Amino acid sequence: MIPIKVAGVSVGTRSPAAVGLQYLQPGALNLTALPPLSLYIHFPWCVRKCPYCDFNSHEARGAFPEKAYLDAVRLDLEQSLPLIWGRKIYTVFIGGGTPSLMSAAGLDRLMSDVRTLLPLDGNAEITMEANPGTFEAEKFRSYRASGINRLSIGIQSFNADHLKALGRIHDDREAMRSVEIAHANFDNFNLDLMYALPGQTLDQARHDLATALAYKPPHLSLYHLTMEPNTVFAKYPPQLPDDDASADMQDMIADVTAVAGFDHYEVSAYAQAGKRARHNLNYWEFGDYLGVGAGAHSKISFPHRVLRQARYKQPQSFIEAANQGNAIQEEHEIPRADMGFEFMLNTLRLTGGFAPNLFGERTGVPINAIDKACAEAEAKGLLYRDHQIIRPTELGQRFLNDLQQMFLA
């Protein structure tokens, strides 16, 4: 077992200045304030594993141990409390897997545990992922009553052939029905769509987007299908549109969403006014998050260090570890030399960039630590910066991986 380490300074009781810099260890950080804190809860089961998916998901062959898992999640939360004493939770995200496989009673119990153990902000955004094929109108009304105030629906496509090629368990009719149920019960929801699918044409991608827009979603996530390692598609790659066709689809998405009044605020995220995904924004702005459940990751800041954790990935291993007193499989502090890259890896996804003072606030490192890389990126036309903003250029957005890699220590 890896012991949970608690910072030497109690969060919320003493300011960083009160500690005295003379007591800091070499390489220690100096965060003047702690970032906002989010909660991520992982639900690891799916009806079937999709061939493109590299998330920590496991096929539920028959019944899955819902009660034992929720018991373990509560234990994981309880064991994590010393790391976040006194800090409020501003957003909650229940992801997977397919959390909408959870029973209405199970979700209600989970939300009750969260409210009992953690100080939730009164205006907290509470999102749950849901997949078509698991939608039941009555169950989703119960989810809403339990406190879920935002859905993220994994549509991927409204085309029956493309859904079959992606290995999805739903068809086009179930996709549309799921959006109708969401629309009837939630005023805030996201639709996930993918493009550059096997055999997909530009007109088919345009039709998928038009179908989604017809439901007036507050938020859209539009992802380019990629071949991730350790997936079925990586082993047996399908025939995908070429780079030119994919670029045409990307240009079409930018044009159509702009006309429809969506703000393209992150690489894959498009929102109506006031409907940005607050939970995801906290990731992209290098905020903190406590992750509980099988395979969940955490990033937790203290005045002089930033801690990363990962839980056991296999559901049964996670349940056993939580019952034994510690569900954490891996834990390390982010080295000072890596802070610039870690920060820029996230914030460069934001099309509008970030204010320069955010760098020091979230990393505890002066911004001159990335000055050389910024200058090189600026010289290549990948980055724009002035005293108010640092952001990727349009070229930098197109070659984001190359831009991010320039900040590796």
What DSSP letter does each residue of 12-42 carry, written as one string? Answer: TTS-HHHH-GGGPPTT----SSPPPEEEEEE
Q: Is the pLDDT of residue 382 over 70?
A: yes
The stretch 317-332 carries a mean pLDDT of: 97
Q: Identify the weakest region by mean pLDDT among 13-17, 96-100, 117-121, 325-329.
A: 13-17
Residue 224 has pLDDT above 50, yes or no: yes
Lowest mean pLDDT among 10-19, 93-102, 346-355: 10-19
CATH annotation of 336-409: 1.10.10.920
The answer to whether residues 103 and 48 touch, using CB atoms and an 8 Å cutoff, is no
Confidence at residue 15, expressed as pLDDT on a 0 to 100 scale: 30
**Cα atoms found within 13 Å of the Cα of residue 347, Cβ hemisphere only:** 23
- Span 374-397, average pLDDT: 97
How confident is residue 363, by pLDDT bands cut at 50, 70 and 90?
Answer: very high
How many whole angstroms separate alpha carbon 193 and alpha carbon 275?
Answer: 17
Among 309, 408, 403, 303, residue whose Cα is nearest residue 363: 303
Report how far apart, in Å, the C-alpha atoms of 117 and of each of 163, 227, 233 are: 40, 39, 41
pLDDT of residue 330: 97
- Beta pairing, strands 383-385 & 390-392: antiparallel
Q: Does the pLDDT value for residue 22 go beyond 70? A: no
pLDDT at residue 326 greater than cutoff 50: yes
Residue 26 pLDDT grade (very low, low, confident, very high; cuts 50, 70, 90): low
Q: What global pTM score does this model have?
A: 0.90
More confident residue, 330 or 7: 330
Strand order, beta sheet including 297-302: 263-266, 269-271, 219-224, 189-195, 150-156, 120-130, 89-96, 37-43, 288-292, 297-302, 305-311, 328-333
Percent of the chain at pLDDT exceeding 90: 77
Confidence of residue 11 (pLDDT cuts 50, 70, 90): very low
The tokens for 284 are 């992209």
160 to each of 165, 170, 200, how far by Cα in Å? 9, 9, 12
State the chain's mean pLDDT as an integer.
90
Q: What is the pLDDT of residue 23?
A: 41
As beta bridge partners, residue 10 has: none
Domain map (residue ranges) of the chain: 37-282, 336-409
Query: Which CATH class name applies to 37-282?
Result: alpha beta
- Model pLDDT, residue 10: 28
Model pLDDT, residue 173: 87
Q: How confident is the model at residue 385 (pLDDT cuts 50, 70, 90)?
A: very high
